[in-house]
Amino acid sequence: MTLQPPKSNTSATTSGCFHLKQRNVHYSTQHKYSQNMEVATTKGVLSHLSRLEVQKRSLKSQPQQPGGVKALRATVEALLTQRDQLRAEIQTHKNIKKLRVSMDKQCTNEEEETEEGMDEDSENSNLLRLMARHTQLKDLLHAHNVVGGYNVVKTRQGKGVCVSVATFYEGVYLNTYNLEIDVKPTVRISRHNVPPFIPLNNLAEQSNMQTDLRTLLDPLSQHLNAFAGRQQQFKFVKELHKSVEVMESNVLCSLLVLKFTVPREKTAVLCSLDYTDCTRSLPTRVHFESDDEELPESPVWKTHCSFLMETPVHKALKTMRKTGNIV
């Protein structure tokens, strides 16, 4: 019998070593990958921190702009002042609304219940009642103008009419202007007390007054009320702002030149307001002049320029004085 040599385990051993090497290589690869990720993460964080540090240094090195800061402060102070005014107006309107409800309902029981919420001992209670009555009458007059238009009275046995055009500003009725108009045989203006600087003849030519009289009266009312608004604003400037000097104005109230004084520098500033649109009570152009040539171009005074074009001049001056920009 031929003896067979025993089978060698070399292949098994080789296979085991091969799998072991594969596991070692796989482990080594994973280990190196995790190390690389940690290094990359660390580098990413460090680079991000480095960028933040550079940004911080660049911000510190940038020069501050005092003009921009002053403009922002002036804007903030103006907005705070407007906020306080609006809060006071809202509270006043709430109280007036309560009183208006009782007046409109015209019911004694409901009126007593509504007025119980008011403080009878308050110093402003009587004033609030007068204001409520004033708003009620104003609404009635406004409704009359909307639905009926104007006060019209027949004259000369129906051959003519007298039309009254009322002007008002901020709820206060001012002057009334009258026109005597012939209706027979043709419609024409015979007499009136409209100021000569109001283009009445041009308005009449541009209108269709032969068939619709309101095509004349509506533009005329717009011109007259705009003039009344400008006139009242100029009046308030003289009465309420003694430190502001009125250097120039005209009869039409289409031009107003004021002189301000800047508190700290004691610098004089001339402010010219042009009202070229005679149908509006706000200026169409505002211009500043000063010995300090940089002052009119500063952000603060550019803000004042825009503010004066959007706000009645006497109210704008009040805000500018409260913010300390003028004396």
Residue keyed to tokens 């027949």: 154
Overall fold of domain 241-322: Enolase-like; domain 1 (3.30.390)
Element (H, E) at 115: helix 108-115
pTM confidence score: 0.60
C-alpha distances (whole Å) from 66 to each of 235, 283, 304 are 36, 30, 17
Q: What is the pLDDT of residue 59?
A: 62
Tens of each residue's pLDDT in the chain, 327 residues: 444 444 444 444 444 444 444 444 444 544 444 454 454 445 566 776 777 777 767 766 656 566 678 888 888 888 998 888 888 889 888 888 888 888 777 544 544 444 444 555 556 778 888 888 887 777 776 666 654 457 888 888 778 889 999 898 987 889 999 999 998 888 999 999 999 999 999 999 999 998 888 899 999 999 999 999 999 999 999 999 999 999 999 999 999 999 999 988 788 999 999 999 999 999 999 999 999 989 999 999 999 999 999 999 999 999 999 988 898
State the DSSP code for 48. Answer: H
Q: Nearest to residue 128, comparing CAs of 85, 91, 86?
A: 91
Using only the alpha carbons of the chain, give its radius of gyration.
Answer: 40
Q: How far apart are the first and last CA of the chain?
A: 133
Q: What is the pLDDT of residue 17?
A: 45
Q: What is the pLDDT of residue 261?
A: 92
Q: What is the pLDDT of residue 113?
A: 46
CB-based contacts of 172, cutoff 8 Å, min separation 6: 232
- Domain definitions of the chain by residue range: 91-144, 149-225, 241-322
Token output for 38: 């940690």
Token output for 218: 């509506």
| Omega cis (within 30) before 185 | yes
> Could you give the CA distance from residue 325 to residue 327 in angstroms, rounded to a whole number?
7
Q: What is the pLDDT of residue 65?
A: 61
Chain centroid, CA 195 distance in Å: 33
